[in-house]
Amino acid sequence: MVEVKEVIRLWMNGYAKKRIAQQLGLDRRTVRRYVRAARRSGVELGSAREPSEAQVGAVLALLRCTPTRPYGPAWAPCGQQREFIASHLKSGVR
């Protein structure tokens, strides 16, 4: 959360994405993804000096990985073996 908040804060203060990435030791694509999520959640460049907790929360909600398509046909057999897999994992088998 701190990383996302710092990226948003620097971007809101006018820093370039490349400079943010260098300063924070992040990949430029990660910074771009965070900024894109901030824009989609309504955060605007130069709107404030610090992002609010609500703004950061909205960005984090957008960044959560959600499946965009249904599971394929190979998923059904795995679901049928859920108890078997769980028992093995519980006993330490990997």
- Asked if 7 and 34 count as a contact pair (C-beta separation under 8 A), the reply is yes
Encoded tokens for 21: 């990435």
The predicted structure's pLDDT at residue 75: 82
pLDDT digits (tens, 9 = 90+) for 41-85: 888 887 777 888 888 888 888 888 666 677 788 888 888 888 998
The predicted structure's pLDDT at residue 66: 64
Q: How far apart are CA 31 and CA 47, in angstroms?
A: 18
The predicted structure's pLDDT at residue 68: 67
41 inside domain: yes
| Residue 54 structural domain | 2-63
Prediction pTM value: 0.65
55 inside domain: yes
pLDDT digits (tens, 9 = 90+) for 6-38: 999 999 999 999 999 999 999 999 999 999 999
Residues written for the chain: 94
Instruction: Give DSSP secondary structure letters for 39-75.
Output: HHTT--TTS-SS--HHHHHHHHHHHS---SS---TTH
Q: What's the domain count of the chain?
A: 1
